[in-house]
Amino acid sequence: MGKSKRSTPAKQTLILWALLVKDNGAGFQSELKPEPDKADRESLEKAGLITCEKRGRYRRYWLEVTEKGWAWAADHLNHDLPSGSPAGSFILQAWLTRLKAYMRARNVALAEILRPQSPREYGPQDVVGPSEYDKLQSRIRQAYLAVTSDRINTRARLCDVRERLSDVDRTVLDEVLKKMQREQQISLYPLDNKAEITDADRKAAIYFSGEPRHILWIER
C-alpha cells in the first residue's frame, strides 16, 4: 500500500490565501489552486481556520474561512509566502483583481496604498501615551466582560462594546484595538454568517486591509 499524502504548512498557507480571496472567503475545493487534498483540508479544519461540508448534486467539498482564519490572515499579511509553487501567481492575480475592485469602489488611488506610511498613520502610540493606552486596554476588557456576562473565550459584538465606550474618540479606540490585536491580546473577527450582520454591526466595524471585523474575542 502507498503512503497517504501528508499536508505541509507551506501548502496550507497557499490554500488559505487562495480561499480568502474568494467571495466571502468561501468556495469549492476543486476551484482552488493549489487544490487541497484530504490531509490539507483536515489540517486546516483541525486548526480552526476553515469549515468544510459537502454541497450540491455531486457532493463537492465546500470550504469557508472561519473568524479565526480571517484573524490569522490579518496577522500574517507581511509574512513570507511559501516559494516553489506555481499556484502563487494565480493567488497574486486574484488578490490584485480584488485590490482593483476595492480601489474603484472606494475611489482610492494606488499611490495612497503603496506610498510610505508615516508613523502617525500606523501606530496608536501617536494617539495616546503609554499610561492612557493601559487605561483603555483595561476599559476595553471591562466592556467586553460586560457584554459577555463576565465570560472570556466567547464572542462580543463590536457594536455592543463600542456602546459601552461611547465617550472614547473612535479613532483612538480603533487604534488601540488594532494594537491589542497585533500584540495578540485580543482577536477581531468578521461575522461568518452574512445574514447576521446588522446595520449596527456595519457601523461599528473596524477595518483591516479593507475587510470589516465585527466581533471582539478575548481568550485570557
What 3-state DSSP class applies to 73? helix
What's the fold here for domain 123-217?
Arc Repressor Mutant, subunit A (1.10.10)
Q: What is the mean pLDDT of residues 162-178?
A: 92
pLDDT of residue 41: 92
Phi, psi for 168 (deg, rounded to 5): -90, 130
The mean pLDDT value of the chain amounts to 85
The pLDDT of residue 116 is 56
Q: What is the pLDDT of residue 85?
A: 75
Which pLDDT value is given to residue 220? 82
- What are the residue ranges of CATH 1.10.10.10 in the chain? 9-106
Give the pLDDT mean for 45-71: 90
CATH number for 9-106 (one of 2.60.40.10, 1.10.10.10, 3.40.50.460, 1.20.20.10): it is: 1.10.10.10
Provide the angle, in degrees to the nearest 10, between the axes of the packed helices 130-147 and 170-182. Answer: 90
How confident is the model at residue 9, as a pLDDT?
Answer: 84
Tens of pLDDT, residue by residue over 93-135, are 888 888 888 788 777 777 767 765 544 444 444 567 888 889 9
Could you report the per-residue pLDDT of 8-51, keeping only the tens digit for each?
A: 888 888 899 999 988 888 999 999 988 999 999 999 999 999 99
pLDDT score for 71:
87
**pLDDT: is 197 or 57 the higher one?**
197
Cell numbers 475611489 correspond to what residue?
107
pTM for the predicted model, two decimal places? 0.50
CA distances from 73 to 13, 15, 18, 149 (A): 10, 12, 11, 29
Cell of 181: 490585536
Q: How confident is the model at residue 127, as a pLDDT?
A: 62
Q: Phi/psi of residue 199, each to 5°?
A: -60, -35
The mean-pLDDT minimum among 41-50, 61-70, 83-92, 148-157 falls in: 83-92
Min mean pLDDT across 2-16, 30-44, 65-79, 139-153 is at 2-16
- Is residue 164 over pLDDT 80? yes
Burial class of residue 45 in the structure, from the number of CB atoms within 10 Å of its CB (0-12 exposed, 13-18 middle, 19+ buried): middle
The DSSP-derived string for 3-48 is PPP---HHHHHHHHHHHHTSGGGEEEGGGSSSPP-HHHHHHHHHTT
